A and B are shown apart, each in its own frame.
Chain A
Amino acid sequence: MTSTIRFQFTKGQEVRFLSHLDLVRAMERAIRRAGLPMAYSEGFSPRPIMSYSFALPVGVMSEAEYADFRLVEDWDPAYFMEQFNKHLPPGLRVLHAERLPEGTPALMSEINAALWRIRLPQAEQVAVEKRWQELQAVDSFVVERQTKQGSRSVNLRPLLFGVPRIAREGEAVEVHCLAAVGNQGNLRVEELGLLLGFDSAQALITRIGQFKKVGSAYYPPLGNRGCTWTE
Chain B
Amino acid sequence: MDKRLVPLLPLVTKPARYTNSEVNAQHKEWTEDRVTMALAFPDIYDVGMAHLGFKILYALINSRPDALAERVYAPWVDMQQLMIERGIPLTALESGRDVADFDLVGFTLQHELSYTNILKMLDLAGIPRRTQDRREGDPLVLAGGPCAFNVEPLADFFDFVVLGEGEEVIQEILDVVKAAKQSRTPRQETLRELARLKGVYVPSFYRPVYDSGRFQGLEPLYPDLPARIEKRVARDLGSLPFPEEFVVPYTEVIHDRVMVEILRGCTRGCRFCQAGMIYRPVRERDPEQLKEQVAKLVSSTGYDEISLSSLSSGDYTQIRSLVKDLIAAYRGCGVTVSLPSLRLDSFAVELADEIQKARKTGLTFAPEAGTQRLRDVINKNVTDQDLKEVVQAAFQAGWHRIKLYFMIGLPTETEADLDGIAELAHKVLAWGREFRTSRKRPEVTVSMASFVPKPHTPFQWRGQDSLETLRAKQEYLRERLRHPGIQFSFHEVEHSFLEAAFARGDRRLGAVLERAVDLGCQFDSWGDELRFDRWLQAFREAGLDPVDYAQRSLDPEEALPWDHLSPGVDKKFLVREWELAQQAIPTPDCRWDRCTLCGVCFNLQVANRLTEVGSGD
Contact = CB atoms under 8 A, between A and B. Distances in A.
Interface of A: 14-15, 17-19, 21-22, 25-26, 28-33, 35, 40, 44-48, 58-59, 87, 89-91, 201-202
B15 interface: yes
Nearest to A12: B21
B15 A44 contact: no
A17 B9 contact: yes
21 contacts: A14-B19, A15-B250, A22-B16, A22-B250, A22-B252, A25-B250, A28-B304, A31-B302, A32-B304, A32-B333, A32-B334, A33-B23, A33-B302, A35-B299, A44-B359, A45-B334, A59-B10, A87-B302, A89-B250, A90-B21, A201-B10
A108 to B, nearest CB: 23
A195 to B, nearest CB: 19
Contact of B302 (A15, A28, A58, A201): A28
Given A32-B298, A45-B336, A58-B15, 15 more contacts: A14-B19, A17-B16, A21-B252, A29-B248, A29-B302, A32-B299, A33-B300, A33-B301, A35-B299, A40-B333, A45-B356, A47-B334, A59-B10, A89-B21, A202-B10
Contact of B250 (A26, A32, A45, A202): A26
Contacts of A14: 19, 21
Contacts of A201: 10-11
Contacts of A26: 23, 248, 250
A30 B302 contact: yes
B595 to A, nearest CB: 45
A76 to B, nearest CB: 21
B190 interface: no
Contacts of A33: 23, 299-302
Contact of B23 (A18, A29, A59, A202): A29
Given A18-B16, A40-B334, A29 B252 contact: no
Contacts of B11: 201
Contacts of A89: 21-23, 248, 250
B19 A17 contact: yes
Contacts of B76: none
B252 to A, nearest CB: 7
A123 to B, nearest CB: 16
A48 B335 CA distance: 11
Contacts of A91: 21
Contacts of A202: 7, 10
**8 closest pairs, A vs B, by CB?**
A29-B302, A32-B302, A14-B21, A17-B15, A33-B302, A46-B334, A201-B10, A22-B250
Interface residues on B, range: 20 to 34
Most buried by A among B298, B334, B336: B334
B293 interface: no
B251 interface: yes
Interface in B15-56: 15-16, 19, 21-23
Contacts of B298: 32
A10 B333 CA distance: 26
B354 to A, nearest CB: 11
Interface string B1-17: 00000010111000110
A26 B250 CA distance: 6
Most buried by A among B15, B252, B302: B302
A192 to B, nearest CB: 15
Nearest to B256: A25
A171 B299 CA distance: 44
B488 interface: no
B251 A18 contact: yes
Contacts of B22: 89
B28 to A, nearest CB: 16
A197 B513 CA distance: 49
Contact of B9 (A25, A40, A59, A87): A59
Nearest to B12: A17
A185 B19 CA distance: 33
Interface string B291-318: 0000000111111100000000000000
A46 B331 CA distance: 10
A29 B303 contact: yes
Contacts of B335: 32
Interface string B345-365: 000000000001001100000
A45 B299 CA distance: 19
Interface in B267-309: 298-304
A120 to B, nearest CB: 14
Contacts of B304: 28-29, 32
Contacts of A46: 334
A71 B253 CA distance: 29
Nearest to B333: A32
Contacts of B7: 202
A174 B21 CA distance: 27
A35 B300 CA distance: 11
Contacts of A59: 9-10, 15
A108 B608 CA distance: 59
Contacts of B336: 45
A202 B9 CA distance: 10
A204 to B, nearest CB: 10
Nearest to A21: B252
Contacts of A40: 333-334
Nearest to B332: A40
Contacts of A47: 334
Interface in B354-404: 356, 359-360
Interface in B143-163: none
A25 B257 CA distance: 12
A87 B248 CA distance: 12
Contacts of B23: 26, 29-30, 33, 89
A26 B301 CA distance: 10
Contacts of A31: 302
Given A17-B9, A22-B251, A29 B15 contact: no
B556 to A, nearest CB: 52
B23 to A, nearest CB: 5
A48 B304 CA distance: 11
Contacts of A18: 16, 250-251
Interface in B191-225: none
Contacts of A35: 299
B21 A29 contact: no
A160 to B, nearest CB: 23
A44 B15 CA distance: 32
